[in-house]
Amino acid sequence: MHGAAAALTLAGVVGTLRYGVHEPGHALAFGVLIALGELAGWRAPPRAEGLPGPGQLRDREPAPLAAAGALAYALLGESAGYDTTHGVSQIVAVVVAGSLAGAVPHLARGSGPGRDHLARRVLTTGFAALCFQPLYNTGLLDRYVGQGAALALFLLLLLVLTALCDAVLAALLLRARTGTGPPFGPVLGDELRGLLGIGSAVCATGVVMSLGVAAAGLWALPVFCVPLLLTQVSYRRYAAVRVTNGQTIASLARATEIAGYTPVGHARRVAALSTAVGRELGLSGPDLTVLEYAALMHDIGQLSLVDPVPAGATAVLPAEEQRRIALLGGAVVRRTGVREAVALVVERQADPYREQPLPARIVRTVNAYDDLAGGGPGGALAALERLRLGTARDHCPEVVESLARVLANGGVAPRRPG
């Protein structure tokens, strides 16, 4: 995918150099808009150790104004009533130049956009431009679609296709980046649900910008930027709240380690491996976030114990004691203000698996694996064998086999004894 984006970029730059820049004022205006959008974009801060990551809110579009400006340029046919003549190659070249120019300050701070972000921007913009510009420049769009309602329906259909293209690209990149082989369907569904938020605002603003420039010229650009900027500010505040919640949960997860009730890193290992197993079993979006938070705080109930469990291994305790610790953990989680679904998973992790929701089954099995793999002979293989022997009541066979597949794919290294 990165190769396709690089090839399209090269073709755009070569085409622009060969045929020259059409409407330099428009190219400069949209290039500056994209650069400013990248400059004003927000980047998630580096994730602290133990801070929830894979299931949390991702930067679905960290620079919405830049994305809207690129889409508007790709869909621009007229400017103040006059036809434009820029083509697909110039659109790609301007988008790449603007994105790179706006990314320079972020790169200087070490938080610049990655290759995935730039590849998505180039390929999505190129797709929209290829669907619109040839039809407009050859007159086919005016001949077969015309103006008014028909044009609005055509642009709406093009927006849907462009959004679908972007979601597919994002899902493919995420699936490749996680390295645990999550099913493509749930990942794509997660990305499509994300489009209902900032993605819909980007699409709407991009179309309105192109139509505004068609009627009023370049003066329409700053006017139609304001609503998206306000949306971006609200979205950033929402993301900041989510990051704060994640930090709170990470701190609570470390409380049992600091107090000596659980081994160092146990909660983080269980959370990382639970997330990988959840993805492998098709969880995504909010369900994956609930699983991750519950996995981080699954041992919080041990803080109520007078005498710590040896090595924090609750998997070897009697069922009644496991149940008591789980209920106490659920009560603690409710006091933190975290979602009720997280507390429910924590308090039901000790139930027979047939009575548990899927996230609770995953947390119980992964916690038991980490407890068993760290002590005694055989390590990981012996732990998996004991989990398989417990599939009559304690562990869901499907979760155990999913865990084995994730471990075989190198999802998380097992804890070493001692």
pLDDT at 342 over 50: yes
* Residue of higher predicted confidence among 145 and 52: 145
Neighbouring C-beta atoms of residue 385, cutoff 10 Å? 12
- Residue 42 pLDDT exceeds 70: no
Q: Which helix (DSSP H) or strand (DSSP E) does residue 83 occupy?
A: strand 82-83
Residue 79: in which H helix or E strand, if any?
A: strand 78-79
**Domain segments of the chain as ranges:** 2-240, 259-408
Highest mean pLDDT among 33-37, 61-65, 318-322, 349-353: 33-37
Residue 30: what pLDDT?
Answer: 92
Per-residue model confidence (pLDDT) at position 300: 84
**Weakest-pLDDT range from 42-51, 202-211, 256-265, 270-279:** 42-51
Q: How does pLDDT run across 140-154, given as a tens digit for each residue?
A: 888 888 777 888 888
Q: Are 28 and 221 in contact (CB under 8 A)?
A: no
Q: In the predicted model, what is the mean pLDDT of residues 261-274?
A: 85
For the CA atoms of the chain, what is the radius of gyration?
Answer: 26
Q: CA 246, CA 293: separation in Å to the nearest integer? A: 8
Q: Is the pLDDT of residue 230 over 60?
A: yes
Cα 404 from Cα 410, distance rounded (Å): 10
- pLDDT band at 14; cut points 50, 70, 90: very high
Cβ atoms of residues 292 and 320 within 8 Å: no
Tokens of 249: 């949960």
DSSP lists the bridge partners of residue 78 as 83
Between residues 367 and 178, which one has the greater pLDDT? 367
Confidence band of 398 (pLDDT split at 50, 70, 90): very high
313 band by pLDDT with thresholds 50, 70 and 90? low
Across the range 381-407, mean pLDDT stands at: 87
Written as six digits, the tokens of 190 are 């997660």
Mean pLDDT score, 296-311? 75
Q: 0.95 cut: is pTM over it?
A: no
- What is the 8-class DSSP label of residue 196? I
Mean pLDDT, residues 326-339: 81
- How far apart CA 53 and CA 119 sit, in angstroms, is 22
Q: How confident is the model at residue 26 (pLDDT cuts 50, 70, 90)?
A: very high
Q: Which pLDDT belongs to residue 50?
A: 40
Instruction: Reply yes or no on whether the pLDDT at 415 is more than 50.
Output: no
Q: In whole angstroms, give the CA distance from residue 259 to residue 17.
A: 65
In the predicted model, is pLDDT for residue 186 greater than 60?
yes
| DSSP 3-state percent helix, strand, coil across the chain (nearest 5) | 75, 0, 25
Amino acid at 117: H
Calculate mean pLDDT across residues 124-152.
87
* Residue 44 or residue 228, greater confidence: 228
- In terms of average pLDDT, the best of 103-112, 252-261, 263-272 is 263-272
Higher pLDDT: 252 or 30? It is 30
Local confidence band at 178 (pLDDT 50, 70, 90 cut-offs): low
Superfamily of chain region 259-408: Hypothetical protein af1432 (1.10.3210.10)
- DSSP, collapsed to helix, strand or coil, labels residue 266 as helix
The answer on pLDDT for 48 being more than 50 is: no
